[in-house]
Amino acid sequence: MATIVSIHSYRGGTGKSNITANLAYLAALEGKRVAVLDTDLQSPGVHVVFGMEKDRITHTLTDFVQNKCELEECAYQMSSDLGLDGEGDGEGDGEVWLLPSSMRIEDIMRVLDDGYDVGKLHTEFNALNHALGLDLLLIDTHPGLNRETMLTTAISDVLVLLIRPDKQDFHGTAVMVEVAGRLGVPNVAMVANKVVSRIDHDDVKAKITEAFGYEVLGVLPLDEEMANLGSRGLFTKLNPEHQITHELRSIAARLIALTSEGDDSGD
């Protein structure tokens, strides 16, 4: 059974889509089979980070939630695009699938009007897991607190909350942490992003731990190169020795460790 990890933040622009895509790539480099779901149906973006051509997308998660296709039909194999060799030699032998959302305004409006059935999504996850033999299911979410993100959170094994050192983020994240507690999410972990260089990273870590009581998986600097890349590619692939890549690699390793803890049950 794949470990389901939601990557969430109280506010937009925190780095969810970029971090999700890069974590998927790094986990695949470690040999994991990873699917990325873009459940940010209102402002999808993770496909851009993967450099996915719009023409290739014929079925989306948006179609699926409107009962227009099967979940498997919107899973696009990204491994060759990402240069993963798929030869099963222990390195670079993982796989990445992307389940994108629709960019069509009519589709987005319809989902906004109708909402979507997360119960169905959960049932279908199992079928997808089975078909693709997944280790990890990463969910890129819409920011803030709404019905859909609460439901995807509720079915997650791990909730990763991204936070910037900003008072609004801290207040909003406190609410989300409380909601996650009430929803009974088994693991909650924090990641700080866009931390300016003059702030000491250990201080940030201590402050977040003190405020929320959860493990801080990593502290990522506000980085000019990352800003300059502007979501036009996978930062960690382009900058394998960068500090952000090292941090994300250790976060991916932590998530992979949680995956194998889940395997102890025998499936």
Ligand X SMILES: Nc1ncnc2c1ncn2[C@@H]1O[C@H](COP(=O)(O)OP(=O)(O)O)[C@@H](O)[C@H]1O
Among 6, 10, 29, 45, which residue interacts with Mg ion (rule: CB under 5 A)?
45
- 238 dihedral zone (left: phi>0; alpha: psi -120 to 50; beta): alpha
Cα torsion 103, 108, 109, 112 to 10°: value is -160
Residue 73: its H or E element:
none
Among 65, 226, 255, 256, which residue interacts with ligand X (rule: CB under 6 A)?
226
Q: Which partner from the list Mg ion, ligand X, none does 100 bind, CB cut-off 5 to 8 Å by kind?
A: none
101 binding Mg ion? (CB under 5 A): no
Cα-Cα end-to-end distance for the chain: 6
Q: How many whole angstroms separate alpha carbon 57 and alpha carbon 59? A: 6
Residue 97 one-letter amino acid = W
17 binding Mg ion? (CB under 5 A): yes
Residue 206 one-letter amino acid = A
Which one, 145 or 229, has the nearer CB to ligand X? 229
Encoded one letter per residue, x for contact with ligand X by CB under 6 A and - for no contact, window 36-75 reads ---------x------------------------------
Among 15, 44, 94, 218, which residue interacts with ligand X (rule: CB under 6 A)?
15
Which one, 17 or 245, has the nearer CB to ligand X? 17
Q: How many whole angstroms separate alpha carbon 216 and alpha carbon 138? A: 18
9 binding ligand X? (CB under 6 A): yes
Return the CA Rg of the chain: 17
- Which residue is listed with tokens 């692939």? 237
Among 179, 183, 222, 258, which residue interacts with ligand X (rule: CB under 6 A)?
222
Which residues bind to Mg ion, rule: CB under 5 A?
16-17, 45
Which residues bind to ligand X, rule: CB under 6 A?
9, 12-18, 45, 193-194, 220, 222-223, 226-227, 229-231
